[in-house]
Amino acid sequence: MEDELEDHAVTALLSSTTTPLHHYEGLNCRLVIEWWGAAGERPVEVRDLTVQEAKSADEVFITSSTRDVQAVTSWDNVAFEHGKVTKHAAEVFEAGWMDNLDP
């Protein structure tokens, strides 16, 4: 899959507008990043993004305990693709959960 994603930069925004100073970074976000690396994909750059940088992305997705990996299709009238990176992140997340079940 890495060849298909070679031209995509993957950057994680870990800050949240509801939790200042990174008090509660999301568990699912951390797992996606960890399992993405374990799957042999190119590294995720983890840093704060400006709103403008985020809105200029080709794809945007969120992670949460209720939605796992969810594509963002629009933000303030800016449309985003639901493409390869988002789909692959969801697959990596699902596979990670299946491989790490704790009965």
- 74 pLDDT above the threshold of 90: yes
Residue 20 one-letter amino acid: P
Cβ-in-10-Å burial (0-12, 13-18, 19+) of 85 comes to: buried
Q: What percent of the chain has pLDDT over 70?
A: 75
pTM score, whole prediction: 0.73
User: Average of pLDDT values for 61-74?
Assistant: 90
- 20 pLDDT above the threshold of 80: no
pLDDT at 90 (0 to 100): 94
From the candidate CATH numbers 3.40.50.620, 3.20.10.10, 3.40.50.12640, 2.60.40.10, the one assigned to the domain spanning 11-99:
3.20.10.10
Contact between residue 53 and residue 32 where contact means Cβ atoms under 8 Å apart: no
